[in-house]
Amino acid sequence: MCQIFAGQSPERYETVTRRLRLNGQSTSICLERAFWNILDRIAAREGMTTPAFISKLHAEVLELHGEARNFTSLLRCVCTIYLGEDDALRSPPAAIAAE
């Protein structure tokens, strides 16, 4: 089993830095290549570029929480939700769905 995880190409978990604008400010985000690939897929599904998707997400986080603490970790969690890792966040609780 560990061969599945340990045997992956190092390029998959190589860190990649991308420069983009969040709320008009230039910044850089460093994530593993695998996460960038997932974010690219999410953005394409939403009909956006990856920088536009990340900027929109950042704005929504600011609106909801007033700040975007540890935004790169949030992006990794976005990827796990997209991959179905946390189904509880993707669908409403049973009590709400029954209403």
Percent of residues, the chain, with pLDDT higher than 90? 76
pTM above 0.95, yes or no: no
- So where are the chain's domains? 19-84
Which fold is adopted by the domain 19-84?
Ribbon-helix-helix fold (1.10.3990)
Summarised one tens digit per residue, pLDDT across range 32-67 is 999 999 999 999 999 999 999 999 999 999 999 999
**Segments in the chain forming alpha helices (H):** 2-6, 33-45, 50-65, 71-82, 87-90, 94-98
pLDDT for 99 equals 45
Q: How far is 94 from 99, CA to CA, in rounded Å?
A: 9
Residue 90 has a pLDDT of: 54
Measured CA to CA, the distance from residue 91 to residue 73 in angstroms comes to: 21
Judge whether residue 95 has pLDDT over 50.
Answer: no
